Structure 1
Amino acid sequence: MERLKERILHEATVINNDVLKLDALLNHQVDPILTMEMGKEFASRYAGEAITKVITVESSGIPVGFTTALALGVPLLFARRKKTLIADPDAFTERVPSFTKGIVTDIMVSRQFLNDSDTVLFIDDIIANGDAARGLIKIIERSGAKLAGLGIVVEKSFQAGARTIREQGIRVESLVQIASLEGGKIQFL
């Protein structure tokens, strides 16, 4: 996705050697046309996998997850980060740290919406250390659903997240892979 790379080069901000701010594209503002292109690309890469649902973690994964689900013609399911008064008390829950937020939260998915008849495609905006991804993968495994793979918009290849998930035998498709943020410069793989 060359257009995505160009947008990252022009609109992302390198905070330090580990953190890339993508607020203009993914995390605060969303370009609907680019987001539709990303969803169609993920749908194309996972065509033929008999996917029944797309799953993501709220909130930054929702736009790309939605466009992927739309392109596949299946529902979007997202893991909640905050428990509400009407939340399923018997939900699948996993405690995960957030690399960029610097906090630990619980993610939860209602048992009503995820079960052993599902084949899910996990879509997320960015992967660094992979803690949230590993947490959602544990939830998917406990539900009995089949994980077709992960679709990641931006993979920071210099951090261990995507690599450790691939080492588990899970398919990971990234639209963009960043090799380095050293010296404030974005270097693509």
Structure 2
Amino acid sequence: MKLLKDRIKAEATVVGDGVLKVDHFLNHQLDIAFLQEIGREFYDRFKDEPITKILTVEASGIAIAVATAMFFQVPVVFAKKSASRNLDKDTYTSEVFAFTRNTRYLMKVSRRYLHSQDHVLIIDDFLANGQAVQGLIDIIHQAGASLAGVGIIIEKGFQEGGRRLREQGIEITSLAIIEAMDEGHIEFRD
């Protein structure tokens, strides 16, 4: 997606080892008009699928999932990363490793919100090692639902997540795939 790549080139910064900072337009401060274009792009790419739910992980994935769901006119379900008194005790759970936080956590989704008749589209901001997406797929399988596909805004093509998921036959649509990056340089896959 040219608009996204242009925005990354102009505004993103590389911090430390493999971290791309896009917090001023994507995952801290949100550019709503930009998110609407992202949602429209995911809709255009998945509109032939009979999607009934969009699934993501809190927190950064929620805004993107909502922008996409507005075009599909379906509910958004987000996996919670931490225990909460307002979360049902009857949940689907999957343990994953978070690349950015360098920690393991248990993602949970209430069994009330995913069912066997659901056809689910996963939406997330980044794909690095693939753990979050794999955890969401695990939750979809636990519910007996079907996976429509995976929509990712930025994939780190130099990490293994995308390759491993594609080798499993999972359809991944990434709006921008970064092949290499360091301070002052970001290279995209065509």
Tell me if TM exceeds 0.5: yes
Q: Counterpart of 1:82 in 2: which secondary structure?
A: coil
What secondary structure, in the 3-state scheme, does the structure 2 residue paired with 1:64 have?
A: helix
Deviation at 1:17, TM superposition (A): 4.6
Question: Does 2:50 correspond to 1:56?
Answer: no
Report the CA distance between 1:86 and its aligned residue: 2.2
Q: Deviations over 1:85-130 (max 9, x none)?
A: 1211110011111100111111000100001010000000001001
Summarize the alignment of residues 138-153 of structure 1 with structure 2, pairs less than 5 Å apart. Answer: 138-153=138-153
Give the match for residue 156 of structure 1: 156
Correspondence for 2:178: 178
User: Which consecutive segments of 4 or more residues in structure 1 shift more than 3 A?
Assistant: none
Distance in structure 2 (CA, Å) of the matches to 1:168 and 1:80: 25
Task: Return the letter of the residue paired with 1:2.
Answer: K
RMSD: 1.1
Structure 2: gaps spanning 5 or more residues: none
> 1:162: how far off?
1.1
1:163 shift after superposition: 1.1
Whether the 8 Å contact between 1:153 and 1:176 is mirrored in structure 2 is yes
Q: Which has the higher strand share?
A: 2
**Alpha-carbon distance in structure 2 between the residues aligned to 1:74 and 1:85:** 26
Tell me the alpha carbon deviations over residues 64-100 of structure 1, each in whole angstroms, 9 at most, x when there is no partner.
1001111011111111111111211110011111100
Match of 1:77 in 2: 77
Q: Is the 8 A contact 2:15 2:183 kept in 1?
A: no
Q: Figure out how many residues of one structure are paired with residues of the other and give that number.
A: 189
Query: Percent same amino acid at aligned positions?
Result: 47
Report SS of the residue matched to 1:101: coil
Shift of 1:184: 4.2
Whole-angstrom distance in 2 between the partners of 1:45 and 1:94: 28
Show CA shifts across 1:4-34 (max 9, x none).
1111112111013511111112221110001
Gaps of 5+ in 1: none
Match of 1:169 in 2: 169
Distance 2:102 2:174 in 1: 24
Partner amino acid, structure 2, of 1:107: M
Alignment of 1:85-96 (within 5 A): 85-96=85-96
User: Aligned partners of 1:67 and 1:183: how far apart in 2?
Assistant: 30
- How far apart are 1:171 and its partner, in Å? 0.4
Look up the match of 2:8: 8
8 Å Cα contact 1:17/1:183 also seen in 2: no
- 1: CA distance, partners of 2:75 / 2:85: 24
